[in-house]
Amino acid sequence: MKIGFLFPGQGAQYIGMGKDLYDNFEEYRNVYQKVNEITGIDVADLTLNKTEEILNQTKNTQICILTMSLAILKLLENKNIKAEVSSGLSLGEYSALIYSKAISFEDGVKIVKRRGELMQELCPKGDWSMAAILGLDEDKVNQICSNVATGFIAPANYNCPGQIVVSGEKNAVTEAMEIATEVGAKKAVELKTSGPFHTIKLSDASKELKKELENITINEFQTKVVKNLDGKTYTNKDNVRDILADHIINSVRFEQGIQTMLNEGVDTFIEIGPGKTLSGFVKRTSRDVEILNINDMSSFEKTIDKLKV
C-alpha cells in the first residue's frame, strides 16, 4: 500500500465542520489552541459558532480549513498513518507543505493567515465569481472563455477529466455557464468563493504575498509534495517562495497532480479536511485505487478500519 494525502481548498468549508472530532479528541483541540496562540484568531469559534457569511470570508476560510486539516493530520500521526506523497487544491498545498516539513507548522499557519488577508484585502473591486464546468474538455472551456464578451474570465482550475473551473467577473462567468450548457456541458455550477482566484487579477496580492514569504524558512522536503502550478513534484532546488506567489495568479493543474501521484505508485488516497470533492476528482481519474476521506468521526473510524491500524 502506498498512501497519498489530499488537502482541500477554499470552497469546501461549512459551519460545524469537524465538530465531533473537536469534541472527542484532545489532540485535535490542541491544534486549534496552537493556531489561536500563533494568530490570535479563535478558529474553533469561527468554524463552529459563526455564520456561513463570516466563515466564507477569505481571511477566515483559509485559516479554518488549514487548521482542520492539520488537526486531522495529528490524529493520523497518532495512529502512525503516513503518506509518501501529498497534494492540496490551491490553499491545500500549504497543508501538504507543512506535512512535508518544507514549511514549519508555525510559519505555515502565519503565512496562510496572511495569504487569506491579502487575497481578501487586495482583491480588486468588482462583482466576482467562479463556476465549475462539467463535461467539457480543456480546449472547449478555453475557447468559451475566449468567446465571452461581457467581461474578464479565465480558466482557474483543471480539476479532473471533465471538470474545469472558470474565474472572473460575475456577468462573464454567468455568460460562460450559459455558453457551456449550450455546447453540451453536463452542468455548470457557481462556487462558494468571493474573488477572481487563480487569475492575473490577483497580481497585487501575489506581489505582497511574495514579500511575506521572505519571512518564512523553507526546509528540505521530508515527503514528496505535488505542485498546483504544473502538477509535478517539488524538488529541493525549486524556489518555493516564487512558486507559492505565482500560484494565486495561475491555473491549478490538479488533474495533472493526481496523475503524478498515480505515476508515483499511490494506490490509496486519503482526503483530509472538509468535504469529499477531491475524492471525486480522483474517482474520475482512476477507478483502480482506494479512496478514503476524513472530515468527521464516522469517516475517521472508517478510514482507520480500512487501513487496519
Asked if residue 175 and residue 298 are part of one domain, the reply reads no
Note the pLDDT of residue 193: 72
Q: Which domain holds residue 108?
A: 3-123+200-307
The answer to the question of residue 33 being in a domain is: yes
Q: What is the mean pLDDT of the chain?
A: 95
- Decide if 203 is catalytic: no
Asked if residue 294 and residue 249 are part of one domain, the reply reads yes
The domain boundary, picked from 171, 190, 209, lies at: 190
Chain Cα centroid distance, residue 184: 28
Note the pLDDT of residue 195: 81
* Host H or E run for residue 134: strand 128-134
The answer to the question of residue 133 being in a domain is: yes
CA distance 61 to 53: 10
Q: Which of 90, 100, 206, 251 is catalytic?
A: 90
Asked if residue 56 and residue 16 are part of one domain, the reply reads yes
Percent of all residues in the chain with a pLDDT value above 70, rounded to a whole number: 99
Asked if residue 148 and residue 111 are part of one domain, the reply reads no
Asked if residue 227 and residue 95 are part of one domain, the reply reads yes
Note the pLDDT of residue 308: 80
Asked if residue 224 and residue 300 are part of one domain, the reply reads yes
Residue 121 has pLDDT above 70, yes or no: yes
pLDDT tens digits for range 238-255? 999 999 999 999 999 999
The answer to the question of residue 195 being in a domain is: no
Q: How many CB atoms lie within 10 A of CB 19?
A: 15
Asked if residue 148 and residue 100 are part of one domain, the reply reads no
Residue 222 has pLDDT above 80, yes or no: yes
Asked if residue 182 and residue 204 are part of one domain, the reply reads no
Please name the residue that has the C-alpha cell 479512496: 291
Give CA separation, 75 vs 13, 26, 49, in Å: 20, 10, 23
Asked if residue 147 and residue 92 are part of one domain, the reply reads no
Residue 237 has pLDDT above 70, yes or no: yes
Domain tally, the chain: 2
pLDDT tens digits for range 146-205? 999 999 999 999 999 999 999 999 999 999 999 999 999 999 999 877 689 999 999 999
Identify the CATH number of the domain in which residue 275 sits: 3.40.366.10
Q: How confident is the model over 256-279, as a mean pLDDT?
A: 97
Q: How confident is the model over 48-55, as a mean pLDDT?
A: 94
Asked if residue 135 and residue 30 are part of one domain, the reply reads no
CA distance 209 to 214: 9
Note the pLDDT of residue 6: 98
- Decide if 247 is catalytic: no
**Positive/negative CA dihedral, 278, 279, 281, 282:** positive
Identify the CATH number of the domain in which residue 167 sits: 3.30.70.250
pLDDT interval class at 309 (50, 70, 90): low
Q: Which of 86, 95, 167, 198 is catalytic?
A: 198
Residues 1/268, Cβ–Cβ less than 8 Å: yes
Q: How confident is the model over 106-117, as a mean pLDDT?
A: 98
DSSP letters, 278-293, are HHHHHHHH-SSSEEEE
